[in-house]
Amino acid sequence: MKNENQQAESREIVISVRNLNVSFGDLSVLKGINLDVYKGENFVVLGRSGSGKSVLIKTIAGLIKPDEGIVNVLGLEVDKLPVNELQKLRLRLGFIFQSSALYDSMTIRENLEFSLIRNFKHMTTKEVLRAVEEVLDAVGLREKINVMPADLSGGQIKRIGIARTLILRPEILLYDEPTAGLDPITCTEINQLINEVQGKYNTTSIIITHDLTCAKTTGNRIAMLQDGNFIRLGSFAEVFDQSDSRVKDFYDYNFIQ
């Protein structure tokens, strides 16, 4: 677990979820979720595949409309926003997809430039290049600026996905399974990068994962999602009080040394 001095810098709530219900047909996925995320913290949502973790952050980002409940992000009620206001809010949110979602036909530089130029048309060519180089430095891949995505490793692609999100300087980052499909050494590097991004860019993050090492390494607070609701919330040690058999089974399955 991270040091106490790395925990939320204030008690300012930047994401508030109340009585959130989301279903798809007869399948109820989220059942009365309540959640506050504080400015400056890494908040981990931990759970098995199919537990609704990704549905939660997609609802927070306004990609899924809730059946019931309130989702408030940076003081705005997400599902009540008109399209233009929702687009403005999304510029303040960075969604880091599990696949990293890079354009295969573009170089890394072009991938990073694309969203920047589309959203900040006033920037000069020199300013755009400087921004690209800065985020590549931040993820340790400056030398890959003119490389194609197909020539990168899985871990490097994850890093570029983070860089492409950071280039817009969002206030909140939403990570969807950031260590999925990576070897243990690369997972360690990505976890370290998540913490470095939090420190350098002063971001608030929700990290969706089923990886206990990721949760333990990056999370200031952790919530365990099961059967559509949070069954535990707190520090890693508090969540994995193994007197709760539901938590113990999950821990034993993942097993951390």
E strands, 81-220, in order: 93-96, 172-176, 204-209
Shortest CA distance to 215 belongs to which of 67, 55, 47?
Answer: 47
CA distance 96 to 94: 6
Is 128's pLDDT higher than 80?
yes
Q: What is the CATH number of domain 8-92+172-257?
A: 3.40.50.300
Maximum CA extent, the chain: 58
- Number of Cβ within a 10 Å radius of residue 134: 13
Q: How far is CA 83 from CA 79, 86, 87, in A?
A: 10, 5, 6
SS3 state at 143: helix
Taking only the tens place, the pLDDT of each residue in 72-119 is 999 999 999 999 999 999 999 999 988 777 899 999 999 999 989 988
Is 8's pLDDT higher than 60?
no
- What contacts 211, CB < 8 A, 6 or more positions away? 177, 179, 180, 187, 254
Arithmetic mean of pLDDT, 216-239: 93
Q: Please provide residue 123's backbone torsions phi and psi, each rounded to the nearest 5 degrees.
A: -70, 140
pLDDT band for position 205 (cuts 50, 70, 90): very high
Is 165's pLDDT higher than 90?
yes
Beta bridge partners of 23: 28
Taking only the tens place, the pLDDT of each residue in 130-140 is 999 999 999 99
Average pLDDT of every residue of the chain: 90
Taking only the tens place, the pLDDT of each residue in 32-78 is 999 999 999 999 999 888 889 999 999 999 999 999 999 999 999 99
Taking only the tens place, the pLDDT of each residue in 174-187 is 999 999 989 999 99
pLDDT band for position 121 (cuts 50, 70, 90): confident
Cβ(123)–Cβ(204) below 8 Å = no
Domain boundaries, the chain: 8-92+172-257, 100-169
Percent of the chain with pLDDT over 70: 94
CA distance 162 to 182: 15
